[in-house]
Amino acid sequence: MTHARTLLALALALAACRATPATRPAPARLATAPALVAAPPTAVGMSASLGRELDSLAAGALADSMSPGLAIAVGRWGRVVHMRGYGRLDWPAESPAVDSTTPYDLASLTKVIATTTLAMMLEEEGQLDLDRTVASYLVPQFGAPDKAGITVRMLLTHTGGLEAGAPLYRQEARGREAYLAQIEQRPLRGAPGAHMVYSDWDMVLLQAVIERITGQPLDSLFAARVAGPLGLRETVFRPDATLRPRIAPTAVDTARGGLLQGVVHDGNAWAIGGVSGHAGLFGSARDLARVAQLLLANGTYGGTRLLRSATVARWTTVQDDLSSRALGWDSPSGESSAGRYASPRAFGHTGFTGTSMWMDPERGLFIVILANRVHSRGTSDRHVRLRRDVGDAVLRAVLDAPLVER
């Protein structure tokens, strides 16, 4: 009898343990810190093993010669739970080690960090109308009949019908005016508003619109209106000589004199002058974590409001059924670089050089990965797996929210 009672008690105890996760109320959401502070993963409801797993993933990518080095930053509710550099700036053993302040060529992250953010600000101020045509802003430089219907909104959702891009720098095109003329003359891929084609030209045109409205160059606007208020220290266009030795070299380009260090990798951005709406920005993991937190905190950082919360919500939401695109930003779809578990409200972007950033408002999370994968040793697609593996590891580490595979 005693034995039976013991077995019954054990069975009841096991049943209670199994029921606990389903019946226990979720812990209250931690208040978002006004500015980023360091904290252990356990302080924000994440597994204590997260750091070890990210270290292992980074080590695996470096062992596969994905790039000489990389940096990863992860945060939740305004707490940085992981921010580390791995490997070195370049392949030689004497090359400096990567850390969270190492600047990388951000490539297409320029589109969202600089160009899209400035467009958001101008729209809030009533200076930019998303449904106004691009031609109306850029008269007389941009007025071809087949492009007359392209709106600013189409540029931001990549639905204007423009081609993805072309190596115009090989045709000796130089400067912004020359590129505007070439884009204006080149044939469309499709009717404006009909389908999505991810195009660098969209952001080259948006840069021109922003500069026409403000009368200021994109790099000056970014420095004054974004980098300055956020306290970004390494995120700039055309880095000067004092910063260049700290920058991770991007690639060897014999046509441009050899190793590119602090010189934009994208040939068209270089030919435009190093400042373009689609590429040209350099930045560090530390700085990009601040940009990510600005957006997760609905447009505020360190007590300073740069954007309205409604603006952030609207611009980071999918706009139509033509694609996964928000305004400037992208959302997870298919084999996304965000991994398998990002929520439907997640938004982010990637850069050709090996950079990426994703934010998930439902979980208060951001993930930043910087690498110079175009400086790899024959495994330049390894970054695709790293992005997904890191995204999955971070979402699996969240202990106070369900893990749902998309």
Q: Which helix (H) or strand (E) holds 358?
A: strand 355-360
What's the chain's average pLDDT?
92
What strands, in cross-sheet order, belong to the sheet with 281-283? 104-105, 281-283, 236-237
Give the pLDDT score at 379. Answer: 62
pLDDT in tens, 118-173: 999 999 999 999 999 999 999 998 989 999 999 999 999 999 999 999 999 998 88
- pLDDT at position 4 over 90: no
Buried-state track 104-135, b at ≥16 Cβ within 10 A, e below 16: bbbbbbbbbbbbbbbbbbbbeeeebebeebbb
The single residue listed with the structure tokens 């026409």 is: 212
- The domains located in the chain, with CATH, are 30-104+330-406 (3.30.450)
Q: Which two tokens stand for residue 253?
A: 């380009």
pLDDT in tens, 224-261: 999 999 999 999 999 999 999 999 999 999 889 899 99
353, 250 contact by CB (below 8 A):
yes
Cis bond leading into 145, ω under 30°?
Answer: no
Instruction: Label the pairing between strands 258-260 and 281-283.
Output: unpaired
Give the pLDDT score at 332. Answer: 95
- pLDDT at position 77 over 60: yes
pLDDT in tens, 356-390: 999 999 999 999 999 999 998 876 689 999 999 99
Chain centroid to CA 93:
30
Q: What is the DSSP string of 183-237?
A: HHHSPPSS-TTTS----HHHHHHHHHHHHHHHSS-HHHHHIIIIIHHHT-SS-EE
Q: Which two tokens stand for residue 380?
A: 């330049």
| pTM higher than 0.75 | yes
